[in-house]
Amino acid sequence: MLKRLREIEEPVSFTFDGVQMQAQRGEMLATALLAAGIGHVRRSVVSGAPRAPYCLMGVCFECLVTVDGLQNRQACLLEVEEGMVVESQRGAPDVLAHFRDEKRQQP
Amino acid sequence: MTVRFVTAADDLRPAYDLVIVGAGPAGMAAATEASRTGARVAVLDENPRPGGQIYREITRNQPGARQYLGADYWKGKALGNAFAESNADYAARATVWSIEPADEPRDGERHRVGVTIAGAARMIEAAAVILATGAQERPMPVPGWTLPGVLTAGAAQIALKSSGVVPAAPIVLAGCGPLLYLLASQLIDAGARDMTLLDTSRPVLRWESLRRLPGFLFSPYLRKGLGLLLRTRRRIRVVTGVRSLEILGEDRAEGVRFATARGTSTINASTVLLHQGVIPAINLASAAGCPLAWNAAQRAFQPVTDAEGRTPKRGVLIAGDSAGIGGAQAAEIAGRIVAVAALSDRGLVARDVSAALINRLQRQRQRYFRGRGFLDALYAPRHIFLAPPDAQTIVCRCEEITAGKLREAISLGPPGPNQLKTFVRCGMGPCQGRLCAATVTEIMAAERGTSPADIGTYRLRAPVKPVRLAELAGLPHAPRALKAVTGRDPVDHHLNETELPS
Amino acid sequence: MQEADLTIVGGGLVGASIAWGLARSGAKPLVLDGSDLDLRASRANFALVWVQGKGLHAPHYALWSERSAREWPIMAEALLEDSGVDVGLVQRGGFTFALSNEELEAMRTDMECIAMETAGRAQSFEVLNRAETRARVPHLGRDVVGSVYSAADGHVNALRLFHALHIAMDRKGVTYRPNYKVDAIEPVDDGFILKGEGFSILSRKIVLAAGLDNERLAPMVGLACPLKRSKGQILVTEKCKPFLPCLSPTIRQTDEGGIMIGDSEETDTASIATSSDISAVLASRAIRIFPALADLNVVRSWSGFRVKTADGVPIYDQSVGGAFLVACHSGVTLAANHSLVVAPQIAASRLADDLSPFSARRFHAQAAA
């Protein structure tokens, strides 16, 4: 959806739905996802329709993704960091997913 | 001096003389001006680096590498440098989600500002607050505008400024307003190709705009605006008189169907960039209880302020585009004016000094007001793009409420947008009405045959940005609040309620 | 001057329930409503159809609430028929969770007292200890020491209820006038003259269902509606997948997915603004009850003023001239009674005898005593 005009100079690596990607250091996650050719980053909580970043300035909440386990983060307000684990937001979050993980970790 | 970078909520002072929300032109200028007086100033901004949207990444970008951003953009450099040399506390990546104004601020009584930094929330106090939250693009609800591949023109410009990326071709820019032509020109200079601009402005200059022409002839926008227009028209395909628009595609934008007086055409598009002007970002002001008023010329609600940015809520002031659209250079001067006014009201600047300074700044600002009226009238959006006639068009993107569903509920006679909101859930999603409020008001006004001024808009509440439950839970638990929730006076062990589940 | 047979002042949940109920019995009432930014409890409620704990030292109120909960399925069915809207009524019981032994004991005492005062006619309930509560409710936090459970409790989608009532009103021929604030009511020989900016309406019968404004309007027709200040605040989270296994009066998941977290009562403020201090305590208690909520985003908070009478018990009253008064802070729970029981009585021009304990005359009696 977005095209880089020049090569990444200072790359940072992150994953989106398990796929390794690169961004320019200091770049916003939403822009990095679009520049990496990602079509949509989430499915709407109402109809399940695909949605993608729209305003890139924190207003529209279309770029919500799960970042390092935290759901519904605004990707346009987060800088990509090395090793970031990003997942698409498929509909409404499942709070128990987190809860179950915690339980599993307990002896 | 240099700004003190604040990277954790705990690193903020508990109280400031002045808290400024936003580090765009108005916020940066306000901070720079205020810190000259020795006042304790904090600037809280959502982005990682200062500049706002207009001067996005102004501190990192160098003219050599991104010359295509244009001379107006580089004007922000000096302001960015001045801000960096101020003595303000500067919290980047900070989300302000609440302003709780003191009911009647007397000595010692302060406003409270709710802010989240790095996952932790904090309430800090401020004798005065300046909201410099800038503008957002006016929503442009057309069929298909929720499809991936559709962005705002502002988004494309932000991506260009911050990452040097351009939209994938073929690109369609659609809508009206100076930003659309500026963006087209920047994209061409940057190397984007295969672009079509669909201009939805009304084809004939109407009386309202001509009446304001004399002001425009002396305004700084004239040469710039005409130059842009001509340059863009020479280099890309521009279609004028576009009077309907539909974005085609199943799971992403694939094309645009549009109509002019000559008929209907369809063109391919990988990226569609929509824009029909900007409106003040009022959510924080509205949630703070600042009254709003309809600006008929700019066709938007804006907070009620005096010439120095004071709202009727004492000690809450508004600077820059969030008080009414005036552009970056007017915002910068407004930031200085409002800072001086805020500090003077608190007795931190002598009245005679502040009066003289404000006077001088007001005269400087006047220059940028000239010609605004002409631009506002010239680029007034067509009604069809303010209140979509097609019943299937989504108005509220979060809750997926269509224009048809809104009209059906309006026919029941609800007294205004707030009742309508409870009926159909428009404006209840995470964007909190930012992308539908303007349209809902326009549709209701059209259905009732009245002015948007009579319709009003959503009453907003904190948090104006989502805040995690755990962050709220981590705030101190006041005995009064414990009593209000539990119904009993807190005993000692209740005071330890901040303990969170492990 | 316009004329009307029957005018309801107030188009909130109470006024709309009564208007729809009247229209079902063939009347064509006129509803006068206020403006968009009026204080409206109908837009700020917790959507419970709730009986548990109501009517302490007022057994008639405990039984009245229970009756409405029993009538609710009938009303929901009728409303679906008239509006096409399913209001999402679910009555599968509710838990009130205690985070300290004092809280649990206070709840137990209240419930036992209500059972005694109603001579066992009120709904049954169970007081559950920590282990019993955990056995029934998964994902509970360790701080929950016990709960009170009652099978009769439930909830609806209150926003859809509000919308549905207005659709049903419209379809049944009720005339609805927004932005008609009633400034004055003059009793005359053949009814009442309702006056406001730009209107003057002669109505044979009137029903005051104006929420907080009843306090101002009631004396104009010889009635009284003493209210006390009661501000409540709640939090609403983003939508999440259905996960709450149960209903409670402080945490519920709407059928759209959002979690509502309540509530508070402030009696010393007239400001409608929300307070982050209250939000902090609400959030903290919610997480202590259900730790899985911690990372959910709060997308809204709001506050509202309850239509709370001086003793917390609703007022149903009738003047000699044909004015009726309905004031309560349970417009959702009591909606079934209002549309199915009270409306027909108003149509017949006489409130039933079993409503006489709800008359505001009780306040005169107290004052005299």
Q: Which of B194-208, B216-230, C55-69, C200-214 has the lowest mean pLDDT?
A: B216-230
Tokens of C127: 């007081």
pLDDT at site B220 = 61
Same domain, B265 and B164: yes
Same domain, B148 and B216: yes
Same domain, B124 and B200: no
Give the B window 411-470 contacts with C, CB below 8 Å: 412-419, 422-425, 428-430, 432, 456, 459, 461-463, 466-470
Tokens of B240: 């004028």
Rounded to 5 degrees, what are φ and ψ at B472?
-60, -40
| Pairing mode, strands B237-239 and B195-199 | parallel
Same domain, B143 and B270: yes
Per-10-residue mean pLDDT for chain C, 369 residues long?
Answer: 95 98 95 94 92 95 97 98 98 96 95 94 93 95 96 96 98 97 97 97 97 97 95 95 90 96 90 91 97 94 93 96 95 98 97 96 73
pLDDT at site B222 = 63
Same domain, B108 and B159: no
Examine the pLDDT at B234 and tell me if it is beyond 90. no
pLDDT at site B211 = 63
B122: in domain:
yes
| Pairing mode, strands C231-239 and C258-261 | antiparallel
> Are A2 and B252 a contacting pair at CB < 8 A?
no
Same domain, B58 and B15: yes
B258: in domain:
yes
Distance from C-alpha of B146 to C-alpha of B155, rounded to nearest angstrom: 14
CB B152 within 8 A of CB B273: yes
Cα distances from B436 to residues B300, B430, B433, B441, C241, in angstroms, run 13, 12, 5, 9, 25
pLDDT, tens digit, for every residue of C96-114?
999 999 999 999 999 999 9
| Pairing mode, strands C251-253 and C308-309 | unpaired
Query: Residue C87, Cα to own-chain centre: how many angstroms?
Result: 15
- The domains found in chain C, sorted by start residue, are 2-49+159-226+311-368 (3.50.50.60), 94-151 (no CATH), 231-305 (3.30.9.10)
Distance from C-alpha of B197 to C-alpha of B171, rounded to nearest angstrom: 9
Instruction: Identify the band that residue B42 occupies on the pLDDT scale cut at 50, 70 and 90.
Output: very high
CB C46 within 8 A of CB C314: no
List CB contacts (< 8 A) between B123 and chain C: 276
pLDDT at site B491 = 62
Residue B186 near chain A (CB below 8 Å): no
Tokens of C47: 């959507």
Distance from C-alpha of C324 to C-alpha of C14, rounded to nearest angstrom: 13
Instruction: Identify the band that residue B217 occupies on the pLDDT scale cut at 50, 70 and 90.
Output: low
Same domain, B272 and B284: no
- The domains found in chain A, sorted by start residue, are 11-91 (3.10.20.440)
> From B152, which residue of chain A is nearest by alpha-carbon distance?
A55
pLDDT at site A34 = 97
B367: in domain:
no
C332 contact partners, CB below 8 Å, separation of at least 6? C13, C45, C46, C47, C48, C49, C156, C158, C161
Same domain, B261 and B322: no
- CATH code: domain of residue B313: 3.50.50.60
CB B401 within 8 A of CB B386: no
pLDDT at site B496 = 42
pTM of the model: 0.95
Element (H, E) at B443: helix B437-448
Instruction: Identify the band that residue B490 occupies on the pLDDT scale cut at 50, 70 and 90.
Output: confident
Examine the pLDDT at B105 and tell me if it is beyond 70. no
Residue C350 to chain B, least CA–CA distance (Å) = 30
Tokens of C253: 């998941």
Residue B321 lies in domain: 4-136+279-349
pLDDT at site B202 = 82
B460: in domain:
no
* Percent composition of chain B: helix, strand, coil (DSSP 3-state, to 5): 35, 20, 40
Residue B332 to chain A, least CA–CA distance (Å) = 20
Domain count, chain B: 3
Same domain, B253 and B154: yes
B97: in domain:
yes
B462: in domain:
no
B30: in domain:
yes
Distance from C-alpha of C112 to C-alpha of C125, rounded to nearest angstrom: 9
Rounded mean pLDDT, B150-178: 96
Rounded to 5 degrees, what are φ and ψ at B72?
-60, -40
Residue B261 near chain C (CB below 8 Å): no
Task: Dump strand ranges (E) for chain C.
Answer: 2-9, 30-32, 48-49, 94-98, 126-129, 146-150, 154-155, 175-177, 184-188, 191-196, 199-208, 227-228, 231-239, 251-253, 258-261, 297-305, 308-309, 315-318, 323-327
B393: in domain:
yes
Same domain, B395 and B411: yes
Burial zone of C68 (CB within 10 Å; 0-12 exposed, 13-18 middle, 19+ buried): buried
List CB contacts (< 8 A) between C139 and chain A: 96, 99
Same domain, B52 and B116: yes
Residue C243 near chain B (CB below 8 Å): no
CB C69 within 8 A of CB C333: yes
Choosing from B333, B349, B365, the residue where a domain stops is B349
Q: Taking the CB of residue B212, how many other CB atoms lie within 10 A of it?
A: 20
Same domain, B398 and B313: no
Residue B170 preceded by cis peptide, ω within 30: yes
- CATH code: domain of residue B415: 1.10.10.1100
pLDDT at site B63 = 84
Q: In terms of DSSP H, where are the helices of B113-212?
A: 153-163, 178-190, 207-211
ipTM score here?
0.95
pLDDT, tens digit, for every residue of B55-93?
999 999 988 778 889 889 999 999 999 999 999 999 999
